C-alpha cells in the first residue's frame, strides 16, 4: 500500500468522521427536542388535571357552604329569630358571601397552577426548539470544519509532494 493510498484513506476517514460527528450533533438536538416536547405534554396534562381538581374542590366547597348556611339558619330558627327579614338575612347573606369568596379563592389557586404548568410547557417547547437549532448548526459547523480540514490536508499533501 502506497503513501498515496494511505493519504486518500486518511482523507476519506476524516470526511467520514466529520459526517458522523455532524449526524450525531443533529440527532442529539432532535432527541433533546423530543424530550422537551414530552415534558411539555406532561406539563399540559398537569394543567388539565389541576383544572379537574379545582372544579372538584369548588363543587365540594360549595356543598360544604350550603351545609354551613343551613346550620346557621337552623340555629337562628332554633333561637326564635325570624329568617325572612331584618338582620338575620344580613347575617346569612354575609356568611354566604364569605363562603363563596373562599370557594373562588380555590378556583384562583387552581388557575394560577394551571397557568404555571402551561408556561412550563411553553418553556419546554422553546428549549426543545433551541436544542434542535443548535444541533443543526453544530452539524453544519462540523461538516464545514471536516471539509476544511480535509482540504487543508489535501493542499498540504500536494504542496509537499505526497500526492
Backbone angles phi, psi at 80, to 5 degrees: 85, 10
Radius of gyration of the chain (CA): 35
**Residue 157 pLDDT grade (very low, low, confident, very high; cuts 50, 70, 90):** confident
Q: Does 146 or 8 have the greater pLDDT score? A: 146
For 48-101, write each residue's pLDDT tens digit. Answer: 999 999 999 999 999 999 999 999 888 888 877 776 777 778 788 889 999 999
- d(C-alpha 112, C-alpha 101), whole Å: 16
Nearest to 150 by CA among 2, 7, 3, 5: 7
Give the tens place of pLDDT for each residue, 2-54.
777 777 788 888 888 889 999 999 999 999 999 999 999 999 999 999 999 99
Residues in contact with 139: Cβ distance below 8 Å, sequence separation at least 6, in sequence order: 22, 23, 25, 26, 29
- Spell out the SS3 assignment of 48-104: HHHHHHHHHHHHHHHHHHHHHHHHHHHHHHHCCCCCCCCHHHHHHHHHHHHHHHHHH
Confidence of residue 153 (pLDDT cuts 50, 70, 90): confident
What's residue 47's pLDDT? 96
Nearest-10 Cα torsion for 20, 24, 25, 27: 140
Ramachandran sector of residue 15 (left: φ over 0; alpha: ψ -120 to 50; beta: rest): alpha
- Per-residue model confidence (pLDDT) at position 83: 67
Q: What is the pLDDT of residue 163?
A: 65
Q: Which has more confidence, 61 or 162?
A: 61
Domain boundaries in the chain? Answer: 3-160
**Residue 83: DSSP 8-state:** S
Give the pLDDT score at 1.
58
What pLDDT was estimated at residue 87? Answer: 79
Amino acid at each position: 500500500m502506497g503513501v498515496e493510498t494511505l493519504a486518500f484513506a486518511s482523507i476519506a476517514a476524516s470526511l467520514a468522521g466529520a459526517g458522523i460527528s455532524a449526524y450525531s450533533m443533529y440527532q442529539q438536538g432532535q432527541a433533546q427536542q423530543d424530550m422537551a416536547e414530552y415534558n411539555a405534554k406532561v406539563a399540559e396534562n398537569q394543567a388539565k388535571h389541576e383544572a379537574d381538581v379545582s372544579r372538584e374542590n369548588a363543587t365540594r366547597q360549595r356543598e360544604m357552604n350550603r351545609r354551613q348556611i343551613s346550620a346557621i339558619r337552623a340555629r337562628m330558627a332554633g333561637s326564635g329569630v325570624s329568617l325572612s327579614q331584618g338582620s338575620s338575612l344580613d347575617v346569612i347573606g354575609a356568611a354566604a358571601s364569605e363562603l363563596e369568596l373562599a370557594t373562588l379563592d380555590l378556583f384562583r389557586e387552581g388557575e394560577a397552577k394551571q397557568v404555571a404548568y402551561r408556561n412550563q410547557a411553553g418553556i419546554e417547547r422553546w428549549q426543545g426548539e433551541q436544542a434542535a437549532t443548535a444541533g443543526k448548526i453544530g452539524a453544519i459547523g462540523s461538516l464545514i470544519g471536516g471539509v476544511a480540514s480535509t482540504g487543508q490536508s489535501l493542499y498540504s499533501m500536494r504542496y509537499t509532494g505526497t500526492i
